[in-house]
Amino acid sequence: MRVFNFSAGPAVLPESVLRRAANEMQDWHGSGMSVMEMSHRGKEFISIFEKTEADFRQLLNISSDYSVLFLQGGALAMNALIPMNLLGDKTTADYVNTGEWSKKSIQEAKKYCTVNVVASSEDQGFTYVPAQADWKLNRNAAYVHICTNETIGGVEYQWVPDKSDVPLVADMSSHILSREIDVSSYDVIYGGAQKNIGPAGLTFCIVRKDLLGRALDITPTVFNWKEQTEHNSMVNTPPTYSIYIAGLVFEWLIEQGGLVQIEKMNIAKANLLYEYFDSTQFYHSPVHKADRSRMNVPFWLQDEALNEKFLSGAQQRGLLQLKGHRSVGGMRASIYNAMPIEGVRTLVDYLKEFERSHG
């Protein structure tokens, strides 16, 4: 029996993708091989890789001015690769701190350069995005880094920062492909795949080509974006099966009508939850309304003594992974692209039922 999986990642995948992957597990398109068994240099996998990149570019309208990389390591590793690849001869970088993942990015970057925290929402428990007018930018910084959706805190940029001469870098791990974006408004976009793209183990990086070649001398070859661009993400063996699944997800997204249609569905799902939370005092959603995430919805019961009973009842109804991140507590519903609206409706019905029983 399939459940409604609200995990923040690894996360729910489209059922049709899972069925297709199962059907192709032992024999991909008559090759007699599983994708997991293929040489990454063979014509079979190269065809998978090329279509995956082409579909990714189509979905996001990525121009030829940008390199697209599919790498290993996850977004946490990319936190180190950002300064390694962008510092060049500079020694400082600007970071906006909007939550736990911003903090991790800052901590990692401090190993390679001086970090200027140009704005922070810590004063209100990371429940909002600081207005750009309040950012104290350094014109000599190598880049400006933002996390456009904080998976743990449920804070999302609903606006795009104005560009300057300093490259703008965005961690989009948990909302990439959930909405339309103008890639040209950013210089680097990166993230882990295990939210809206595919299995854990795959990392994507979209980088403006004129920023390649700035890597520090200490940067390992496999983490050097210029080297990986020149070798089509294959300096080392890439995460082949994760790339294959990502390709199936990209095909599924195109079949849904692309990001225009998927964004409409994501807005509808998020509205179902937030409208209910705004109508009751039994639950509490702390994020400022203007900055609420469509993908990750944290919430608290007013009486936290009921937490375990709430989670137990949810599990009995097939509503899984609703416990909040250990660093903040509470509850969290992650409603990525592959979460059907029926799952959100079922969750809202349970929220109402639990309130009637315990309110």
Catalytic positions: 101, 171, 195
d(CA 37, CA 213): 34
Continuous H helices in the chain: 15-23, 43-60, 74-86, 100-109, 225-230, 240-255, 258-277, 307-316, 341-358
**3-state DSSP percent of the chain in helix, strand and coil, to 5:** 40, 15, 45
In this structure, what token pair is assigned to residue 217?
């001398």
In this structure, what token pair is assigned to residue 218?
């200490």
d(CA 11, CA 26): 24
In this structure, what token pair is assigned to residue 119?
């704005």
Place of tokens 């375990």: 308
In this structure, what token pair is assigned to residue 55?
């579909």
Does residue 48 contact residue 188 with C-beta atoms inside 8 Å?
A: no
Place of tokens 């990319």: 78
Place of tokens 């639990």: 354
d(CA 270, CA 273): 5
Of 49, 114, 101, which is closest to residue 75 (Cα–Cα)? 101
Burial of 283 per CB tally in 10 Å (0-12, 13-18, 19+): buried
Sign of CA dihedral 94, 191, 74, 208: negative
Pairing mode of beta strands 188-192, 168-171: parallel
d(CA 143, CA 140): 9
Residues in a beta bridge with 334: 296
